[in-house]
């Protein structure tokens, strides 16, 4: 069974959840899938840094003031040179709207946006911060699969334990643990992502990193993608990071 929706949840801030989510999306798109990435990390708003141009409407607007509009109005494509499409709905909002977007009614609309995306895309991925707000709860409980993203080392171990407790309180659980940034000496991680000096999408140009993302895709959505690093290595710098102008 191949899963359509998956949430990648950071056990803490700054552990590489946004990048990991995008790399999974690109690997799926390299295999021909059309993928939507939705941004639940309202505080950091990091997803938009990978996209060109202005973001209007952003995801918070689509769950508050412009809830009647189609999700398509807030989507922006990541140009990674893949056969499939990677399109994102990021957050770029003032504090006042961020606060309203975290309300229960807005979180319910966020759930609806995930469901709306499944009608158009082969896979829907959600970039989720540590479980501490309603939109993160909505993502973790709505998606079919949940992957916990943690740094290697003691910080990751402790934060992962806290995340598992919070997920249990919500009546769900992490389906797999992804360790970022090196070697997982504890052996607890299902997939370990090595360090890479590449920009997004590193899975297309760094074979070792790409193989790890390939394993992550298989574990997360149970879809076997083609040898990502090797088969797309000639793309070179096609996927360099875009910054908003």
CATH topology of domain 5-237: Rossmann fold (3.40.50)
Give the tens place of pLDDT for each residue, 120-153: 999 999 999 999 999 999 999 999 999 999 998 7
Can you tell me the mean pLDDT for 79-93? Answer: 95
The pLDDT of residue 199: 93
Q: Is the bond preceding 57 in cis, omega lying within 30 degrees of 0?
A: yes
The pLDDT of residue 241: 40
Q: Which of 24-38, 88-102, 139-153, 215-229 has the lowest mean pLDDT?
A: 215-229
Main-chain dihedrals φ then ψ at residue 244, nearest 5 degrees: -65, 140
- Looking at every residue in the chain, the average pLDDT score rounds to 91
Q: How many CB atoms are closer than 10 A to CB 27?
A: 30
Q: Do residues 10 and 20 lie in contact, with contact meaning Cβ atoms separated by under 8 Å?
A: no
Residue predicted with more confidence, 173 or 155: 173
The pLDDT of residue 170: 96
Q: Do residues 47 and 17 lie in contact, with contact meaning Cβ atoms separated by under 8 Å?
A: no
Is the model's pLDDT at 191 over the cut of 90? yes
The domain ranges of the chain are 5-237
Residue predicted with more confidence, 52 or 170: 170
């Amino acid at each position: 069974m191949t899963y359509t929706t998956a949430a990648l949840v950071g056990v803490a801030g700054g552990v590489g959840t946004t990048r990991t989510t995008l790399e999974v999306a690109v690997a799926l798109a390299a295999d021909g899938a059309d993928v939507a990435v939705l941004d639940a990390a309202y505080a950091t708003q990091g997803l938009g840094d990978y996209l060109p141009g202005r973001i209007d409407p952003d995801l918070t607007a689509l769950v508050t003031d412009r809830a009647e509009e189609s999700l398509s109005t807030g989507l922006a494509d990541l140009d990674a040179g893949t056969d499939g499409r990677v399109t994102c709905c990021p957050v770029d909002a003032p504090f006042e709207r961020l606060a309203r977007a975290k309300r229960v009614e807005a979180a319910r609309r966020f759930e609806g946006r995930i469901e709306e995306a499944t009608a158009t895309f082969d896979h829907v991925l959600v970039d989720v911060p540590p479980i501490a707000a309603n939109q993160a709860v909505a993502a973790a409980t709505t998606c079919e699969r949940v992957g916990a993203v943690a740094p290697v080392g003691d910080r990751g171990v402790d934060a992962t334990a806290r995340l598992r407790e919070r997920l249990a309180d919500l009546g769900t659980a992490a389906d797999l643990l992804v360790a970022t940034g090196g070697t997982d000496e504890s052996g607890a991680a299902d997939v370990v992502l090595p360090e890479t000096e590449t920009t997004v999408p590193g899975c297309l140009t760094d074979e070792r990193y790409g193989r790890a993302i390939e394993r992550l895709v298989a574990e997360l959505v149970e879809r076997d993608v083609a040898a990502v690093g090797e088969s797309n290595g000639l793309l070179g710098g096609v996927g360099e990071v875009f910054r908003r102008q």
